[in-house]
Amino acid sequence: MTVETGRPTGQRPDQPASESPGRRLLGRAALGRAGRAALLATGRALVPDAIEPIVQVHRRHHPQADLALLGRAYRLAEESHRGQKRKSGEPYITHPLAVTLILAQLGAETTTLVAALLHDTVEDTEVTLDQVAADFGPEVAYLVDGVTKLEKVDFGAAAEAETFRKMLVATGDDVRVMVIKLADRLHNMRTIRHMKPASQVRIAKVTRDVLIPLAERLGIQVVKTELEDIVFATLHPEEHARTRALIAAQEATGQEPFTAFAELLSRQLAESGVSAEVTARPRHCVSVHRELLRRGRGGRPGELHPVDLARLLVVVEEQADCYAVLGELHTCWTPLPGEFKDFVAAPKFNLYQSLHTAVSVDRAVFEVLVRTPRMHRVAEFGVVALGSPQPADPQSGDELDGTDPARPGWLRRLLEWQQETPDPDAFWSTLTADLSDDAEITAVTEEGETLVLPSGASCVDAAYLLGEEVGHRCIGARVNGRLVALSTTLADGDVLGVLTEAPAGPGGPEPSGPSPQWLDFARTPGARIAIERWLVGHPAPAEPLPAPAPPAPPVLAVPAPARTGHPGRGRLVIAPGHPHATVRLARCCTPVPPDQVTGFQIRGGSIAVHRSDCPTGERMRGDGRGPVQVDWAPQAAGGPAAGAGFRVTLQAEALNRPRLLADLTAAMSAAGLDIVSAVVEPPEQLRVRHTYTVELPSAAALPVVMRAMLRVSGVYDVRRPGLEAPRPPRLRPHARSAGNAGDPGGGPVRPSEGIRDRSAALGAVDGSTGSTP
């Protein structure tokens, strides 16, 4: 600050300055005491002139700031950068000064400003990180180190990707690292015209793909919007110039529509007793261009209307007043369907809170934003407006409690998957893909847990968000109470239940794991990386191909005629009254002891034996064929004689998953039977049906094999065709906490247990319920 002094009081016009009374009366010591007294009287420390604009802005946000610390940081930065020039020819010190001023305007605290003044000293000068830590403390040194680039000499082409990785890791511990980087990039973009054209395009693309999405996620809208406009002008100069011309032409016509409606709304709110400030909030260039594209056709911009240039901003005192304003708007004017969004009750992932609506007034549509002063500060400056980089105090009772600006959820997820991608190219491509879409949705699990996912995420993404082990064991999902395919895209507000197979016990088989097809609809990097890592470590074994169905269904004939009361060797059925008739077990229902059976005479004098509840037998009875009394031969109850056996058809209803066929066939083979044929029907969304014809060594083997099939993960029903209609599944979602109400053992619910009651299922297999043996 420059101080101009006039002629001392009492000095004659012709008296030399050296002979003035003040010079004679005040020695050097007296001047020093007077200077210290003046400083104490004003309460301000002497600061260099160059940082006076920064000090003025900073004191508005932080009146008790340590200005002496800022002065020391500036002196070190100026001395270390002395002699260096920027591409524009200006002294290099102008860059850290501009970055620090941007952060001061955002309201950053003193430590951040000190780090901003020094952010290039370690990278471009002889100053070391240890020197910064010794002079300004470890906190400032950490921030400076976080934004310091890695040398291309050490990392080559991977230097940029590894620099961003290092910066993101540092941001995970202190979000101010990324805030300083954004301010640094903003000033560099403001002066990008001094770079070579190729460098301009490269820097603009990195800013578009990485820095702008990060600014959006941190909620710093003022930085994000300016970066967007500069990138738009750099990469698409013609479209930018055309949009600017349209905006200028509309601005020349005046802002009468906004002024008139703002005054009308202000009067209406005042009459309703709501204290509010109504202003027009101009749209930036990229926002106007998006509106033009939305209204256009075939990718060509449409027309621009005066109401497209701005939105009305209503700032009220309290949160309850937001809804009072909304009520007045929707009562006095016509609201547009689908335009209302409540980000007050449900803040966005970047802490943004506002009510959004649109109303029609005299054929003009006005978009209106309603928020409190604090919501407005957070909407403009994001995490910087929250002040402390530490998590909010849960006991403070503030409306934004529960947020963690130092480690928001999206950043925590990003830090988790970046550890799994050591390759710089893979990390860079995954990072840009993850940041490419800033739209997010919120889903809720059936246990009440909130899941924040990117737009377009599937059920697989949600499963892996609950944990990698949950994702690996996922075999199905239920959305809003309906069973859906794992590829189903989730929508905002969906209620999700994740179905998992039982965890592997000691010495037991590990879960079947994800399918390679999951990569086609996995949206989040965390899910994709976990799936790829599983597939690399678990190569899929070749599944046995299903055997072709025989041209004619098997017919088991009794080798010798069944005689009344005197069954011979190998005879399974006796038919009193038909001692010489050939008896055949029907292929449609494959009866097995101790099924209740009924016989019907067929062509050639033979007797076909059906189960009593077989639909085919019921049709034959309806056609007028009289039933024939038949019964199992006594020795058949314990098992057939040598050379005889039973062929039976079984149907397994299951949730489709990899290696299901292999697991089912292995379970049947382990039960000691031979598989004659297997037919796998095409999956219908999540469900699949397997039909097997098997050769039983004895009738007693049937309940054993049905139990074994029902224990296979994903199988929720095993039945014999014709016995009963398929039952709709009753699913239980994945429970993350131990001691689930549906599982007395406290472990996760198995799919077969959650879909069909275990005791009822096994009882049906044993023959204690219904007619299933």
pLDDT, tens digit (0-9, with 9 covering 90-100), for 127-185: 999 999 999 999 999 999 988 887 655 556 667 778 888 888 888 788 899 899 999 99
For position 301, what pLDDT does the model report?
A: 60
Task: Average the pLDDT over 23-35 and give the result.
Answer: 43
Task: Average the pLDDT over 688-705 and give the result.
Answer: 82
Active-site residue among 123, 173, 404, 695? 123
Q: Roughly what angle, to the nearest 10 degrees, separates helices 67-81 and 52-61?
A: 150
Are 655 and 687 within 8 A, CB to CB?
yes
Tokens 């976990």, residue located: 530
Task: Average the pLDDT over 622-648 and give the result.
Answer: 62
> What does the H/E/C string look like for 503-525?
CCCCCCCCCCCCCHHHHHCCCCH
For position 25, what pLDDT does the model report?
A: 38
Q: For residue 557, what is the enclosing H or E element?
A: strand 556-557
Residue that wins the pLDDT comparison between 723 and 561: 723
Residue that wins the pLDDT comparison between 509 and 465: 465
Name the band, by pLDDT with cuts 50, 70 and 90, for residue 613. confident
Distance from C-alpha of 187 to C-alpha of 179, rounded to nearest angstrom: 13
Task: Average the pLDDT over 394-420 and give the result.
Answer: 52
First to last CA, the chain: 98
Task: Average the pLDDT over 658-674 and give the result.
Answer: 79
Q: Which of 457, 462, 455, 452 is nearest to 733 (CA)?
A: 462
Active-site residue among 52, 79, 109, 124? 124
Q: Which of 88, 109, 284 is nearest to 190 (CA)?
A: 88
CB neighbour list of residue 258: distance below 8 Å, 6 or more residues apart: 280, 306, 307, 310, 312, 366
For position 550, what pLDDT does the model report?
A: 47
Query: In terms of C-beta density within 10 A (0-12 exposed, 13-18 middle, 19 or more buried), how is residue 481 classed?
Result: exposed
Name the band, by pLDDT with cuts 50, 70 and 90, for residue 433. low
* 445 pLDDT higher than 50: yes
* 219 pLDDT higher than 60: yes
For 718-769, the pLDDT digits (tens) are: 888 764 444 444 344 454 433 333 333 333 333 333 333 333 333 333 333 3
Residue that wins the pLDDT comparison between 560 and 435: 435
DSSP 8-state assignment for residue 723: S
For position 399, what pLDDT does the model report?
A: 41
Q: Roughly what angle, to the nearest 10 degrees, separates helices 110-117 and 52-61?
A: 160
Tally of CA atoms within 13 A in the half-sphere of 55 that contains its CB: 18
DSSP 8-state assignment for residue 539: P
Task: Average the pLDDT over 331-356 and give the result.
Answer: 87
Q: For residue 696, what is the enclosing H or E element?
A: strand 687-696
For 59-103, the pLDDT digits (tens) are: 999 998 889 999 999 999 999 999 999 988 899 999 999 999 999
* 43 pLDDT higher than 60: no
81-114: string of b/e by CB count within 10 Å (b at 16+)? beeeeeeeeeebbbbbbbbbbbbbbbbbbbbbbb
For position 80, what pLDDT does the model report?
A: 93
State the chain's mean pLDDT as an integer.
74
For position 683, what pLDDT does the model report?
A: 79
For position 374, what pLDDT does the model report?
A: 92
Q: For residue 380, what is the enclosing H or E element?
A: helix 373-381
Query: In terms of C-beta density within 10 A (0-12 exposed, 13-18 middle, 19 or more buried), how is residue 429 classed?
Result: middle
Name the band, by pLDDT with cuts 50, 70 and 90, for residue 634. low
For position 157, what pLDDT does the model report?
A: 67
Are 646 and 699 within 8 A, CB to CB?
yes
Residue that wins the pLDDT comparison between 414 and 692: 692
For 252-286, the pLDDT digits (tens) are: 776 677 888 999 999 999 999 999 999 988 889 99
For position 559, what pLDDT does the model report?
A: 35
CA-based diameter of the chain, in Å? 154
For position 377, what pLDDT does the model report?
A: 92
Name the band, by pLDDT with cuts 50, 70 and 90, for residue 20. very low
Q: Is 590 helix (H, G, I), strand (E, B) or coil?
A: coil
* 329 pLDDT higher than 80: yes
Are 268 and 256 within 8 A, CB to CB?
no
* 19 pLDDT higher than 70: no
Is 492 among the catalytic positions?
A: no
User: Per the structure block, which two tokens stand in for 17?
Assistant: 């300055």
Distance from C-alpha of 618 to C-alpha of 81, rounded to nearest angstrom: 98
Q: For residue 556, what is the enclosing H or E element?
A: strand 556-557
For position 410, what pLDDT does the model report?
A: 61
For position 729, what pLDDT does the model report?
A: 41
* 494 pLDDT higher than 50: yes
Are 214 and 183 within 8 A, CB to CB?
no
Distance from C-alpha of 547 to C-alpha of 665, rounded to nearest angstrom: 12
Task: Average the pLDDT over 601-630 and give the result.
Answer: 74
Q: Which of 533, 501, 496, 503 is nearest to 518 (CA)?
A: 533
Which range among 32-46, 207-221, 605-619, 651-665 shows the weakest confidence by mean pLDDT?
32-46
Q: Which of 461, 484, 504, 527 is nearest to 733 (CA)?
A: 484
For position 249, what pLDDT does the model report?
A: 83
Distance from C-alpha of 309 to C-alpha of 288, rounded to nearest angstrom: 7
Q: Which of 347, 366, 462 is nearest to 408 (CA)?
A: 347
Tokens 């109850």, residue located: 637
Tokens 């230097």, residue located: 159
Q: Which of 692, 388, 665, 395 is nearest to 549 (CA)?
A: 692
Are 754 and 731 within 8 A, CB to CB?
yes
Query: In terms of C-beta density within 10 A (0-12 exposed, 13-18 middle, 19 or more buried), how is residue 263 classed?
Result: exposed
How many Cβ atoms sit within 10 Å of the Cβ of residue 304?
A: 18
C-alpha distance from residue 704 to each of 250, 514, 721, 763 (Å): 81, 30, 18, 12
Task: Average the pLDDT over 483-512 and give the result.
Answer: 75
* 407 pLDDT higher than 90: no
Q: Which of 660, 647, 637, 652 is nearest to 706 (CA)?
A: 652
For position 56, what pLDDT does the model report?
A: 92
**Per DSSP, which regions of 348-490 are E strands?**
355-361, 364-371, 440-445, 450-454, 474-479, 482-484
Distance from C-alpha of 523 to C-alpha of 454, rounded to nearest angstrom: 8
Is 123 among the catalytic positions?
A: yes
For position 203, what pLDDT does the model report?
A: 93
DSSP 8-state assignment for residue 290: H
Residue % of the chain over a pLDDT of 70:
69
